Structure 1
Amino acid sequence: MGNLIWTIAGSDAGGGAGIQADIKAAQSFGVHACSVITALTAQNSMGVEEINGVAIKVIESQLDALEQDVQPKVIKIGMLANEQQVEFIANTLKRYKTTWQTPPVVVYDPVAVASSGDSLTEEDILPAIKTHLLPQVDVITPNTQETQILTGVYLIGPSAVQDAAKAFNELGVPTVLIKGGHWDYPKGYCIDYGAHQGEEYWLGNKAINTPHSHGTGCSFASSVAANLAKDYPLKDAFILAKAYINQGLKHATRFGQGIGPVAHCGFPHDINDYPEVIEADSWLGQELDLEMGSEQVSARDFAKIETRNLGIYPVVDSVDWIERCLKAGIKTIQLRIKDSSDADLEEKIATAITLGKKYDARLFINDYWQLAIKHGAYGIHLGQEDISVANLAEIKQAGIRLGVSTHGFYEMLRAHNYRPSYLAFGAIYPTTTKDMTGQIQGLEKLKHFVPLMHDYPVVAIGGIDLNRAEEVAKTGVGSIAVVRAITEAADPEAAIVELESVLK
């Protein structure tokens, strides 16, 4: 069930961590959390006084009741109080993974030490975790201390963080998200690391100085679990969980006489709460000594567009369609020719650019940035993969506007690094013009994307026709990119008028 997770964890009498934090975090992302309680902790804002482990029979009865009724896509594991609980939960997860029609994704927050510094588990629990539990875990979310305890790798630098992730892989965990809240490297910054399916993700922001951080680990892992349950890709679940914690730390206050809990404030809609996606050529990337993945030449702060409302934005593959749309009054348009071996490619691009100038339109060339510069295009549109190989400094120097495709929140933040002229977000719906398997964003994500990126002209793209345009326009986007809605219309000129009226 996509809007439901299970959390198997301890109860915090003070309400700041454990099951209580898990439920609040999941609800902030619109996900319902069912709970299986493993321990009743007697704790408050000043510390943990007692841990009362729940009997295996009681845990089993909770799990059986849930399994009969609601099988989730994601199960989040928190505190397990003793070796017997670890072995039981591990065996239960193994059964779920082999007997359920859809095996659950298991997210594990290896709760060993509370934010207050109190130990939350028995010392002899570690061998059982490594031997039995970790092989059933899909995503682990340790802090630096928990990473060092479980892997034996001391995190003295970025390469050690990567080594620790590999150590977790060898212990049977395929996806690793290491939280850097206690790392302080570079000094004054919080750096988080993710490794997933052969890709690495580094996120960073200035450290948020507050003593009130109780429950951050539980809330982070539950945020990841909630977004994975909604079929968000791991990199988006990672970045949203990080933004959620940053937001919560900024709003955290004291309850009681000791450490206050992280605040639960709903979906993070302030871009200032989001971390930076760290790339090798950035300041943080250089501090971390990250290897350059390409010969990329970077730049930022590209030429502005005079309006945030670009209107209906046809993406077409021929000069004839360029001219027909411009004659019909279109003011923003893109030429996308997929065949780079086209013998007349340069001539077509040059002709399209001339037409754009003739009709005083914002004409963007897809991909072919060298030719766009050569012939003085208004703008260039690049995909995420193209950012890594294009000479962005040359594009900026030419004064040409830059539009960038984004598919989700991680790519949104990566594109934001360059401060382009506009951002395109999609695919909103399935489309036949391009294989977007696994990248369908939907209206819900678009509704979050628009307020986050309010400083940019925002373009919604992917599978949008006249029937869908109205609901897309209600999100507040300033532009809707269309392909078949015009090129396959019985009367393209009439379709343009109808689409423009919906957006206005």
Structure 2
Amino acid sequence: MEPTAGVTPPRVLTIAGTDSGGGAGVAADLRAMAACGVHGCVAVTAVTVQNTLGVTGVHVLPPETVAAQIESVALDIGLGAAKTGMLAGRATIEAVAAACDRVGIGAGGTTPFVVDPVAASMHGDPLLADDALDAFRSLLFPRATLVTPNLDEVRLLVGVDVHDRAGQYEAAKVLHALGPRFVLVKGGHLVSDADRCVDLLYDGSTFTELPGPRFDTGDTHGGGDNMASAVACGLARGLGVPEAVALAKRYIVEAVRHSYPLGAGHGPVSPLWAVRPWWAE
């Protein structure tokens, strides 16, 4: 449906770092939100020096600045949902948790909260110290409507090394015990699935498998950011968590299908498949 002039669209806040290469972080989040018909707002946590080959520098913003961004946006613009990405360290996570409580994001509030626990690089290397991982578990997971770890993040957060579907189910149970309403264990890194990618949703009693095709591409940078953002967009539109996750799965399948090469390293998944090429008309 075409947007209506003068009608405010749903609003979603991303609390994340920048990617100067444009493939992940707030750049990816905002592109996904636009593709999903949502107005995106940002609370920047860190500025990275980054391209398709990797990260060569990080400047972490003061935690009070991160908290101030969250409160400024929420109190003026209003939010239908919020999501996290790179949170840099324990002090930032503590500031985010406190700010979300003050403005009603997450458990105890009215704004759904998607926690994408960015804790590992796309090569599986840890990005956070142990005290920051503990802060994810103790501060953000109990506040989360949904957590969306990949398998490397599962290993770092709860010590479950997933090699097959049974391990995926086990990981979902262990993660749910930490307090989120829903857990989505993403299966993109599950090498035992040669021709498909199965994400697993769990609410404490019901498991839902969300299968999709697996594409032979190394251009998957920003896939997790896009997925979490698309879920947040569905929640901001008033969908329940299972429906929002199913919508996001449809989105990310096409985003990976249409991924493109960029630079000398890993290119990004693409939201451009969802954009009408008005400039060519």
What residue is the counterpart of 1:113 in the other structure? 120
Determine the C-alpha separation between the residues in 2 that align with 1:33 and 1:39: 18
SS in structure 1 opposite 2:119?
coil
What residue is the counterpart of 1:251 in the other structure? 258
Shift of 1:16: 0.5
What do residues 214-241 of structure 1 show as CA deviations (whole Å, max 9, x unaligned)? 0000000000000111012222221221
Return the TM-score normalized by structure 1. Answer: 0.50
Q: Aligned to 2:133, which of 126, 129, 134? A: 126
What residue is the counterpart of 2:39 in the other structure? 32
Change (3 A) 1:227 1:133: same
Return the TM-score normalized by structure 2. Answer: 0.88
Q: Aligned to 2:178, which of 158, 167, 171? A: 171
Shift of 1:129: 1.4
Shift of 1:67: 2.7
Shift of 1:99: 11
Determine the C-alpha separation between the residues in 1 that align with 2:35 and 2:207: 27
**Contact 2:258–2:273 at 8 Å: present in 1 too?**
no
Q: Which amino acid aligns with 1:246?
A: V
What residue is the counterpart of 1:207 in the other structure? 214
Q: How does 1:326-341 map to 2 (within 5 A)?
A: none
SS in structure 2 opposite 1:12?
coil
**Contact 1:169–1:175 at 8 Å: present in 2 too?**
yes
Q: How does 1:345-424 map to 2 (within 5 A)?
A: none
What residue is the counterpart of 2:205 in the other structure? 198
Aligned: 1:183 with 2:186: no
Aligned: 1:136 with 2:136: no
Deviates more, 1:147-156 or 1:18-27: 147-156
Q: Which amino acid aligns with 2:13?
A: W
What residue is the counterpart of 1:54 in the other structure? 61
What residue is the counterpart of 2:227 in the other structure? 220
Q: Aligned to 1:66, which of 53, 61, 73? A: 73
Bigger relative CO (Cα 8 Å, ≥ 6 apart): 2
Change (3 A) 1:144 1:104: same
Shift of 1:35: 0.3
Determine the C-alpha separation between the residues in 2 that align with 1:10 and 1:19: 6
4+ runs deviating over 4 angstroms: 98-102, 116-119, 266-269
- RMSD over aligned CA atoms reads 2.4
**Contact 2:79–2:111 at 8 Å: present in 1 too?**
yes
**Contact 1:40–1:52 at 8 Å: present in 2 too?**
yes
Q: Percent identity?
A: 33
**Contact 1:78–1:108 at 8 Å: present in 2 too?**
yes
What residue is the counterpart of 1:344 in the other structure? none
Shift of 1:203: 1.7
Number of residues of Structure 1 aligned to a counterpart in Structure 2: 269
SS in structure 2 opposite 1:124?
helix
SS in structure 2 opposite 1:68?
helix
**Contact 2:173–2:204 at 8 Å: present in 1 too?**
no
What residue is the counterpart of 2:93 in the other structure? 86
**Contact 1:10–1:40 at 8 Å: present in 2 too?**
yes
Shift of 1:36: 0.4
SS in structure 1 opposite 2:224?
helix
What residue is the counterpart of 2:279 in the other structure? none
What do residues 118-160 of structure 1 show as CA deviations (whole Å, max 9, x unaligned)? 5433343111211222111110011111112212222233232
Change (3 A) 1:100 1:133: closer
Determine the C-alpha separation between the residues in 2 that align with 1:213 and 1:146: 16
Q: How does 1:319-330 map to 2 (within 5 A)?
A: none
Determine the C-alpha separation between the residues in 1 that align with 2:155 and 2:20: 28
Q: Which amino acid aligns with 1:244?
A: Y
Aligned: 1:44 with 2:51: yes
**Contact 1:109–1:141 at 8 Å: present in 2 too?**
yes
Determine the C-alpha separation between the residues in 2 that align with 1:2 and 1:174: 26
SS in structure 1 opposite 2:101?
helix
Determine the C-alpha separation between the residues in 2 that align with 1:236 and 1:98: 20
